[in-house]
Amino acid sequence: MRAPIAWRWLGRRAYESALAVQEACWRARCAGGQDTCIAVEHPPTITLGKRATRSELRVSDALLAARGIACVASERGGWATYHGPGQLVLYPIVALAARGFGVASFVCTLEQIMIELAAEAGVVARRDPRGHGVWTEHGKLGAVGIRVRDGVSLHGLALNVTTDLDAFALIRPCGVTGLPVTSLAAEGVRPVSVARLLPAAEAIARRALAAAPPFGVEAPPLDADLPRSASLVRSQPAPRAGSMAEAGI
């Protein structure tokens, strides 16, 4: 029987500080410790994934600094994204092969967590051929960006709950200018907050991450001809020890 997923809520935590917690959990898992799902809310931060450059920013560093928005390079897959108050971020630190995941099925699981969380709030979210993440008819509701190092995942998902959507105009989100974004609040959910979603997030994440399920849903094919927003990975087994993989949008 597989050990349960540990759950850690960090509250509102700077990106670099939460990354240090991820790295500590990753080292512990590589040493035989427990799989852990970290939940956190970040202060205003733009992260640049492995495929992003400073050209993804649509404003100057000086303007970002004046608005109190950090800009951080990240080893996760994908392009640029925004994190901030009102966004629920989950970082599952999971040994993929031990739970039957490949990279593609793990990304699909992270999407499923967001779809189920949105449903808890009464919002219908879905996958979309434009790339990974989850969407409503009004735009992209949640993003996925991961890194797999020595078979253990880092980074994860970000679901817009009451996020300041205007902040996405500061970047080319997911590598696409003018990409529509939405949040649970923008979808009309009242009342809603990260704190209100946490119990459901914990329950759904623990169950979904426990083992790779045979998904009966239609997901975008990982080798589809998608726009530049998609930096996807072909279906494959979990990386071997000493190897790395990434996926994100």
Give catalytic residue positions. Answer: 174
What's the CA gap between 212 and 206, in Å, rounded?
Answer: 12
Retrieve residue 197's tokens: 């979603």
As a whole number of angstroms, the longest Cα–Cα distance in the chain is 53
**What is the side-by-side strand order in the sheet with 45-48?**
70-73, 45-48, 80-83
Q: What's CA 61's distance to the chain center, in Å?
A: 24
Q: What's CA 32's distance to the chain center, in Å?
A: 25
Residue 26's nearest CA partner among 14, 15, 40, 36 is: 36
